[in-house]
Structure 1
Amino acid sequence: MVRTFQRVIAAFLMAGGVASVAYPAASGMSGAAPDPDFSLMVSPTRLVIEPKAIGDPQSFMVTNKGRLPVDIIVNRTDFTTDRNGKVIFQPSSPHSAADWLKVGPSDFRLAPGGQQRVAVRIDLPAKPENGEHQVALLFVAPAGPGGGNIKLNRAIGTPLYITVPGPIDTSVRVHGLRVPEFAMGGPVEFGATVDNLGTVHRDFFGKKSLNVRVDGRDIPFPDFTVLRGTSREVAVTWDDPPFMCICHVTVSASGTDGTSSQARTLIIFPVHLLALLAGTAVAFYVLVRLVRRRYRRHLLGAARALHEQNRDDLDQNEKV
């Protein structure tokens, strides 16, 4: 009996906007790319639900932008992230809100160009744990019938962050600041670790980005989110440092328990250029010495020739 494997290919976005996933139509023709057979869009790409908005109507709009009809199944799943921000789907995660959601419709068919609003209702348990809880909705397009042993289920994952009423803690800790002690020039890479010690996720993008403060400038890390109870490793490259400096590097983040920061010192000194300059100076000095030596030899030779000429003249005069 042939066993068929199924895999889910998911596009999972953490920030707001519109999430979409598309697969082009099979075509051997050249020229402009045709509209894809499969193209699914979900808006918004995430919901952040504050305590006062838990009872409000919530929904997602699903749009079929492909050329073929598509069947959609809406699943709930727990998720977390690793230290590099990679999303990990798993059956059970800390601070899960998977059992709090009621979704409708949970399955439907979309014609090409069709839209479907999917409503989400949140029912809190009697005594929910304080803080934020998260869950993801997976809008799955199951693999259709066909041959082959591997079938791909395409999906878009949209996270929901639900904060229950009560005190909120936004504490974070910045540590493990990675700064080279010495550099001969740019680019220079900085890195840091951010621990979320609070009870809600923390977004670091836009005006709330995490910055490296160096040489009087703020260099923002790429946008990232740190889930409750997780850590993130972040890095950024300083492409245009000054020619020379003793730079003080600082990374700081503020939260409920105050500001967490770390500082290092970076020395930038172009040793390679200094070596090149010293080598050039030495070569110039040697060249000058050689030129002077040859000039002296030329003068001495001319003087000897003149002296010999004078002696010959004297000898001729004495003979006469």
Structure 2
Amino acid sequence: MKKTALTFSAFLSIVILAQAGIHPILAQSVITAIPPRLLLQGKPGETITAQLKVRNDSEKAQNYSVAVEDFIVYDKQGTPIPVANSAGNRWSLASWVLAPDMIPVDTKTTQVVNIKIKVPLTALPGGHYAMLTYMPNADVKPGQMKKTAAIIGQRVGTLIYFTVSGPVTEKLNILKFSVPQFSEQGPVDFSGTLESLSDIHITPKGNITISDPLNSKVATVPVDAGSIFPETEREFISSWNQKWGWGKYRADLNLAYGTTGAVATATIFFWLFPIRLVIYSLVAIISVLTVIVLLNKRSQRHQEQLEAEVTELKKELEQAENK
């Protein structure tokens, strides 16, 4: 799912501030990291250069401290969490990145940040990940920029996805694909959990094909699980915006991933049927039919009574004439 740089920056700020025990509402400046995510690729022994940007939308000029840290993903929503100790981290990237320690940015301006990534000769093929973050620094040297107010640690940054060329494993497992077994009306919500056993981040793309009780295709629901990092899980939710259904439906999940066009599949069945509406309708129909039958019977009895009275009157008239 695509997001603007500002949206990502705000999100990353909240994540990092939460880890640091700082409430984001205390931050006194507005920073935007551009882009929010950077994808690069290189071979062992190469040096790759890249250009980032940081924008200062505060009312004062700022010095931004620059930090490069590895990150990992703990939860199933793909939230990046910085890690200070990268020892033994198969996916580490931070130690390869050369970036300035400090970036001065005037108010309402954007500053270019040049970085280099030196890929070791021993680098393992696959994904390596780091975040480059900016934090306002109140310690501005005289004459370098305008004096700033004290800044409480607000941080935003760019996630760097670096792929080292070489043979890699790309494997996706569908751990869970579920839907409410019975729904009276839509929308119908599908949910799932995906597991990556890859050496590199993968971005599954696909859809859920829905077939009706007659096995005819009736809908296609897109699925976007976002990027899944190596050896992590990711959840997704997709909705079928159909209000009414009339039986047992089939849902086929098909997700393409990786560079070889691999596909992961799963199938589930579910019921979409307005049982209460049908019951209420049947009760209403039966009630109407009952009233009609009762009225017909009453009318018939009344007719029979009238006929009996007429017959009785005829007899009386005949008796009167014979006297």
Structure 1-normalised TM-score? 0.78
Equivalence for 1:253:
255
Q: Tell me by how many angstroms 1:132 deviates.
A: 1.1
How far apart are the structure 2 equivalents of 1:145 and 1:64?
14
Q: Does 1:80 align with 2:72?
A: yes
How far apart are the structure 2 equivalents of 1:293 and 1:70?
92
Q: Tell me by how many angstroms 1:308 deviates.
A: 3.6
Equivalence for 2:294:
290
How far apart are the structure 2 equivalents of 1:245 and 1:69?
64
Alignment check: 8 A CA contact 2:64 2:136 kept: yes
How far apart are the structure 2 equivalents of 1:241 and 1:301?
53
Task: Map residues 103-252 of structure 1 onto 2, 5 A cutoff.
Answer: 103-104=99-100, 106-142=101-137, 152-204=152-204, 209-215=205-211, 216=217, 217-240=219-242, 243-252=245-254
| Pair 1:96–1:15, CA change in 2 (3 A) | farther
* One of 89, 92, 97 as aligned partner of 1:96: 92
Residue-by-residue CA offset, 1:242-298 (whole Å, 9 max, x unaligned): 622433212233445943221122233332232123212311221122111210221
Q: Does 1:49 align with 2:36?
A: no
How far apart are the structure 2 equivalents of 1:212 and 1:241?
17
Q: Tell me by how many angstroms 1:142 deviates.
A: 5.0
How far apart are the structure 1 equivalents of 2:175 and 2:225?
18
Equivalence for 1:11:
none
Equivalence for 1:25:
none
| Pair 1:262–1:137, CA change in 2 (3 A) | same
Q: Does 1:300 align with 2:295?
A: no
Q: Tell me by how many angstroms 1:52 deviates.
A: 5.5
Unaligned runs of 5+ in 1: 1-13, 23-36
Q: Secondary structure at the match of 1:202?
A: coil
Task: Map residues 56-71 of structure 1 onto 2, 5 A cutoff.
Answer: 56-71=48-63
Alignment check: 8 A CA contact 1:19 1:44 kept: no
Alignment check: 8 A CA contact 2:132 2:157 kept: yes
How far apart are the structure 2 equivalents of 1:301 and 1:145?
103
Q: Secondary structure at the match of 1:267?
A: strand
Counterpart code for 1:287: V
Equivalence for 1:39:
30
* One of 274, 289, 300 as aligned partner of 1:270: 274
Q: Secondary structure at the match of 1:203?
A: coil
How far apart are the structure 1 equivalents of 2:85 and 2:244?
49
| Pair 1:239–1:251, CA change in 2 (3 A) | same
Alignment check: 8 A CA contact 2:184 2:244 kept: no
Q: Secondary structure at the match of 1:19?
A: helix
Alignment check: 8 A CA contact 2:225 2:235 kept: no
Q: Secondary structure at the match of 2:165?
A: coil
Count of aligned positions: 284
Q: Secondary structure at the match of 1:57?
A: strand
CA RMSD, 1 decimal: 2.9
| Pair 1:279–1:152, CA change in 2 (3 A) | farther
Q: Secondary structure at the match of 1:108?
A: strand
Q: Tell me by how many angstroms 1:152 deviates.
A: 4.3
Counterpart code for 1:201: H
| Pair 1:314–1:226, CA change in 2 (3 A) | same
Equivalence for 1:33:
none
Unaligned runs of 5+ in 2: 11-27, 139-147, 212-216
Structure 2-normalised TM-score? 0.77
Q: Percent identity?
A: 21
Q: Tell me by how many angstroms 1:232 deviates.
A: 0.6
How far apart are the structure 2 equivalents of 1:236 and 1:108?
42
How far apart are the structure 2 equivalents of 1:92 and 1:211?
39
Q: Secondary structure at the match of 1:243?
A: coil
How far apart are the structure 2 equivalents of 1:58 and 1:302?
103
